[in-house]
Amino acid sequence: MATPKMNCDETQRHFDLKDRADFQLAAAQAHDLASQGFSISIFAALLLLAALVANTLSLNTIWIAFLCNNAAALILFGAGLRSAYDVVRWRQEKAGLPSIPFGAPMRWLVAFLSSPWSTKGPDRIGPWTGSPLSVGQALFSHIGARPLWVFGLSLLACLIVSSDWSLRTDDITIGTLAFLIIAACLVFAFFLLVTERRLAAVDTSEWPEAKAISQLARVPILVLVTSCFCLYLSARGSSLSVELLAALGGFIALIGLEFLLRAIVSMFRPQNENHEPSLITNSYVASLLQWPPQPWIGIQAELRTRHGIDLRQIWAVSFIRRAAPAIILGTIFLDWMLSGVREIPITGRGVYERFGKAEGVLHSGLHVGLPWPFGRVILLENGSVHELATSVSTRDGNAPLADAEGPAPESANRLWDASHISEKSQIIAGGTGGGQGFQIVNMDVRFVYRIGLSDQAAMKAAYRVADLPALIESTANRVLVHDFARRTLNDVLSEGRLSLANDIASAVQKNMDELNSGVEILAVVVEAIHPPAGAANAFHGVQAAQISAEALVARQRGTAAEQINDAQLNASLQRDNAAATAREGIAASEVAKLRFQAEQSAFHEAGQAFLTEEYFNQLTMGLSHSKALVLDHRIGGSIAPTLDLRSMTVPVDPDTSAEPSTPHQSEETGP
């Protein structure tokens, strides 16, 4: 008996839903959302196609950021329209209202977008995909197609924003095509503004989601108008356009992340076709785009509606609201008093001003003084060394650092046959055909400087110089003109280059001291001085010819010196050999003379004995280096052969009666 009653309740409830205004207008609202979604899809696709073309043609990055940011904002708005369309479509089905027919392009687009997720009607693509599609449809039925649509579109928008997010760009020139793109974006923004105003005027009872959609429509309106303003700023050379585009990208990404979180939470909600689905893309960040901003009213209303929590009845919240002005004013006053506490870094110093009068120089550390604006500290450097070129510097702060193992950077190129951005042309004295004239050279002279370390130098740099690099550059250029006017090209390119840096440094330092700038010139570095690139080859030829002539003269002089030295060496050797030979002959004759005198004296004193002794000496000397065999018949068999050469013993004849003995069988005899 309870079942019929329940059916009656459900029937009564069904008829009550049909009587509501939002159910009665569901068909018209679905048609309106579908038409707007179709327009948004077409324009977003055109923007993405234009961004792809700009990236392919390597156009300025500001165009890519402009197109991608607007496309991402439109995709998020399209996600909101899709979520609202699902809610309105459910009301239309429950109310049993027929759909308003669309045009042919609209019918095709709606069928293409809705057919893969529909669980009703015949399966037209099942035979082509088989069981994988069935598993996917079961998963989609369990999770729900609504959060998947929002998740996919939000993820696409975040990826588009992250792909072009950059803080580096160049100035652009707005031409006819750029004006057409800006005009199209502003016209579409006006179309969105009309849509937003129309949705904002709809009563909540007729369309509960109209307010959320109107708030979300403000996002692409803001992005379109601000992006066009950024293009105008970039054409005027302002760097603010890059920061504005980056901020727009971050704002769009924040809304996309909020949609992603809401879609993920919606996936875990139970799917019931009998209950009215809720709008997933009810963005809190987009609701902040109103004036005056009231962020807490929306949170308070949502807490009261969903959870029954009324923050107005909580004592703690009321106390915070009453005490907030005093706390905020006290915090502001404390912050103002703390502005009198200054921190000077270890690499800096500051000039302290009290009521506009300089009191002294503060060094690194914490210092307490009067709060702003009664006390002020002008920060200065303390020993920081800078390098300044006489022309446009080649160092770009955004340029990537050169690889240690890779090729040298372009700024290190010092070849004469190419002009460099850091070089400056200078007129120098010269002579042609015996007359006076001038020549042009390219030079790269750099000045290394710093603010003086004394307190007096710091005071001068703080109050007497408004633009220190510009002052040094102008003074250096004036000094270079005067210094090069009294030098010649050969002097500058040869030995005069050694004293050039010292002369320029002393002259610039003298001018800086006269101006009381407090600057200390540490060094002047002459990176390169050479003729212009067009005359470099001719100058190389002249130098090569001069070097070849000097080398040939030096080579011939070396050959002559070598031959003279060889002749002197040969003459000296021959002279020394002749002197040595003559000296040896004289010494030998003197020795022979002395020997003759000694032998003559010995003969007079010893007579025949001396002659005999000399005879035996000569015989001994002759026999000492020869082999002799002595044969004597007086040598007996029992007496060993003996040769006695002693002169003090009278020789005795051997026994002649003894017969010579026969040699032993085992003894060997000589011939």
Determine the Cα–Cα distance for residues 445 and 503; give it in Å rounded to an integer.
Answer: 13
pLDDT of res. 616: 83
Determine the Cα–Cα distance for residues 69 and 67; give it in Å rounded to an integer.
Answer: 6
Predicted confidence (pLDDT) at residue 586 exceeds the cutoff of 90: yes
| Better-scored residue on pLDDT, 638 or 480 | 480
> What fold characterizes domain 386-393+420-531?
Tetrahydropterin Synthase; Chain A (3.30.479)
Q: Which residues contact 558 (CB under 8 A, 6 or more apart)?
A: none
Contact 287, 219 (CB under 8 A): no
Predicted confidence (pLDDT) at residue 574 exceeds the cutoff of 50: yes
Contact 417, 533 (CB under 8 A): yes
Contact 319, 312 (CB under 8 A): no
Determine the Cα–Cα distance for residues 440 and 430; give it in Å rounded to an integer.
Answer: 9
Domain boundaries, the chain: 22-118+135-282, 319-382, 386-393+420-531
- Name the nearest CA neighbour of 95 among 106, 87, 84, 103: 87
Predicted confidence (pLDDT) at residue 90 exceeds the cutoff of 80: yes
Mean residue pLDDT of the chain comes to 76
Per-residue pLDDT band for 157 (boundaries 50, 70, 90) equals confident
Per-residue pLDDT band for 564 (boundaries 50, 70, 90) equals very high
| Better-scored residue on pLDDT, 77 or 540 | 77
Mean per-residue pLDDT, 54-72: 82
Give the three-class secondary structure for 385.
coil
Per-residue pLDDT band for 120 (boundaries 50, 70, 90) equals very low
Give pLDDT tens digits for 391-426: 544 444 455 665 656 665 555 555 554 555 456 666
Contact 341, 366 (CB under 8 A): yes
Predicted confidence (pLDDT) at residue 534 exceeds the cutoff of 80: no
Which residues pair with residue 379 across a beta bridge?
Answer: 350
Determine the Cα–Cα distance for residues 542 and 549; give it in Å rounded to an integer.
Answer: 11
pLDDT of res. 570: 92
- Name the nearest CA neighbour of 451 among 500, 517, 399, 393: 517
Predicted confidence (pLDDT) at residue 125 exceeds the cutoff of 80: no
Contact 532, 440 (CB under 8 A): yes
Largest CA distance in the chain: 185
Per-residue pLDDT band for 122 (boundaries 50, 70, 90) equals very low
- Terminal-residue alpha carbon distance, the chain: 167
Q: Calculate helix-pair angle for 26-56, 176-200, nearest 10 degrees.
A: 160
Determine the Cα–Cα distance for residues 543 and 539; give it in Å rounded to an integer.
Answer: 6
| Better-scored residue on pLDDT, 364 or 233 | 364
- Name the nearest CA neighbour of 143 among 276, 269, 275, 282: 269
Mean per-residue pLDDT, 601-617: 84
Predicted confidence (pLDDT) at residue 254 exceeds the cutoff of 60: yes
Distance of CA 106 to the CA centre of its chain: 51
Mean per-residue pLDDT, 430-450: 69
- Lowest-confidence pick of 22-31, 233-242, 505-514: 233-242
- Residue matched to tokens 């120098």: 428
Contact 451, 445 (CB under 8 A): no
The three-point CA angle 139-141-143 to 5° equals: 65
Output the DSSP codes for 78-127.
HHHHHHHHHHHHHHHHHHTPPPPP--HHHHHHHHHHHGGG--SS--SSHH
Determine the Cα–Cα distance for residues 263 and 389; give it in Å rounded to an integer.
Answer: 57
According to DSSP, the β-strands at 375-381 and 348-354 are: antiparallel
